[in-house]
């Protein structure tokens, strides 16, 4: 269970952070990734930017647009991963890609093999049609590439939750709130406990909760409800956006953000 989230073994919540590849630019992002590794972050959910995401709020949608304007696509992201992954000591990289925009035009087995060869530690494929899923699961199994599956608190059917539990081999992403990224449940996270317990019966991989997790207090709350890890997206992307807008050092600003959310955080010296 601790493969993606080392802190679980110590009783601490695992931490995954979402960023779009290309926001900041890939050269700056490399330094940011090394900082996350030094800072003890468990996982980077690194997205291949794609337009018109219906599940993302305005902060992440603007991030997609900035990255796309720099010409960042799947090939550039895989080259980036292949360059940085061998230099990481702790941080895992889970690649997030939209099936229709980034994957559909390529043979599934081929593109999954390319992702595995680049060094991604896992794959979250967004909006995979039901007819495509069997081939996707087989291709990832054949390539030895762990899968991140998703389901929604209160919204996903028992069938969807069972499929997510069955096929998750990296971690299971439980979305806390049906809606756009950056939103949290109106009544807080407390009702997640039942959903987490239900999923726990059918999976042995870590259960990570995202959407609306913005602070150290949120991390602590969600962990206390039974989640193994949390995924922080919009709050961190907003810090990147602010740093870019005011011409500040993105890596330094994001390091400050990590300090604010990491419950067991000790930031080491940034590598040169």
The yes-or-no answer on residue 56 being catalytic is: yes
Contact criterion met (CB below 8 Å) for 236 and 18 = yes
In 3-state terms, what secondary structure has residue 203?
coil
Q: Can you state the angle between helices 192-200 and 158-167, rounded to 10 degrees? A: 50
Contact criterion met (CB below 8 Å) for 228 and 13 = yes
Paired strand residues for 77: none
List the catalytic residue out of 31, 37, 45, 121. 45
Q: Are strands 14-20 and 229-232 parallel, antiparallel or unpaired?
A: parallel
- Closest alpha carbon to 91 in 124, 123, 44, 46: 44
CA 92 – CA 56 distance, rounded (Å) = 23
List the catalytic residue out of 12, 37, 42, 56. 56
Contact criterion met (CB below 8 Å) for 14 and 41 = no
The yes-or-no answer on residue 241 being catalytic is: no
Residue 266: what are its φ and ψ, rounded to 5°?
A: -130, 110
- Catalytic residue set: 45, 56
């Amino acid at each position: 269970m601790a493969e993606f989230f080392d802190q679980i073994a110590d009783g601490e919540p695992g931490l995954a952070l979402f960023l779009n590849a290309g926001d900041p630019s890939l050269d700056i992002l490399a330094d940011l990734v090394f900082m996350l590794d030094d800072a003890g972050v468990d996982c980077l959910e690194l997205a291949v930017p794609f337009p018109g995401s219906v599940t993302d709020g305005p902060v992440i949608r603007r991030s997609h647009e900035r990255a796309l304007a720099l010409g960042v696509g799947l090939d550039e992201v895989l080259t980036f991963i292949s360059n940085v992954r061998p230099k990481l000591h702790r941080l895992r990289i889970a690649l997030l890609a939209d099936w229709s925009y980034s994957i559909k035009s390529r043979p599934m087995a081929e593109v999954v093999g390319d992702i595995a060869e680049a060094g991604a530690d896992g794959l979250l494929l967004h909006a995979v049609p039901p007819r495509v899923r069997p081939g996707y699961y087989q291709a990832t199994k054949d390539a030895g590439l762990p899968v991140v599956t998703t389901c929604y608190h209160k919204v996903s059917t028992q069938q969807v939750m069972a499929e997510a539990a069955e096929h998750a081999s990296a971690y299971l992403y439980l979305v806390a709130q049906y809606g756009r990224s950056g939103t949290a449940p109106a009544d807080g996270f407390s009702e997640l406990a039942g959903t987490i317990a239900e999923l726990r019966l059918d999976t042995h991989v870590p259960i990570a909760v995202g959407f609306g997790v913005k602070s150290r207090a949120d991390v602590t709350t969600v962990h206390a409800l039974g989640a193994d890890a949390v995924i922080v997206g919009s709050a961190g992307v907003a810090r990147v956006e602010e740093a870019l807008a005011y011409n500040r050092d993105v890596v330094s600003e994001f390091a400050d953000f990590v300090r604010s959310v990491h419950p067991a955080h000790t930031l080491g010296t940034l590598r040169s």
